Amino acid sequence: GRYLLARKYSAFAWVDTKDTKCVLLWYFGMIMTSANREAQLKKLKNVIQSEEKQLTTILERLKWSKDEVLKKKGYVVCPLDPGHTMPAASLDTHLDLCTWLKEGYSRQEKEAAPPSSHFFYTKSTSVVPVLIDRETQSKIITNAVFRGDVPAHVASALAGIMLFFVARLV
25-42 pLDDT per residue, tens: 444 445 556 777 788 889
Which of the two residues, 102 and 168, has the higher pLDDT score?
102
Say if residue 107's pLDDT is above 60.
yes
Least confident of 70-74, 96-100, 162-166: 162-166
Cα–Cα distance for residue pair 38/28, rounded to 1 Å: 18
pLDDT of residue 49: 93
Using alpha carbons, select from 164, 127, 129 the residue that is nearest to residue 144: 164
Same domain? For 51 and 22 the reply is: yes
Same domain? For 58 and 80 the reply is: no
Same domain? For 66 and 10 the reply is: yes
Same domain? For 123 and 81 the reply is: no
Same domain? For 35 and 89 the reply is: no
Cα–Cα distance for residue pair 130/116, rounded to 1 Å: 12
Same domain? For 89 and 148 the reply is: no
Same domain? For 48 and 81 the reply is: no
Same domain? For 136 and 155 the reply is: yes
Same domain? For 100 and 47 the reply is: no
pLDDT of residue 144: 81
CB 17 within 8 A of CB 1: yes
pLDDT of residue 54: 93
pLDDT of residue 156: 61
Domain with 86 in it: 74-113
38-83 pLDDT per residue, tens: 888 899 999 999 999 999 999 999 988 887 777 767 888 899 998 8
Q: What would the mean pLDDT of 91-99 be, rounded to a whole number? A: 90
Same domain? For 58 and 93 the reply is: no
CB 127 within 8 A of CB 121: yes
What pTM did the predictor assign? 0.37
110-161 pLDDT per residue, tens: 888 877 666 677 777 777 777 777 788 888 888 887 887 777 666 665 555 4
pLDDT of residue 76: 87
> Domain tally for the chain?
3
Amino acid at site 153: H
Same domain? For 35 and 94 the reply is: no
Same domain? For 50 and 30 the reply is: yes
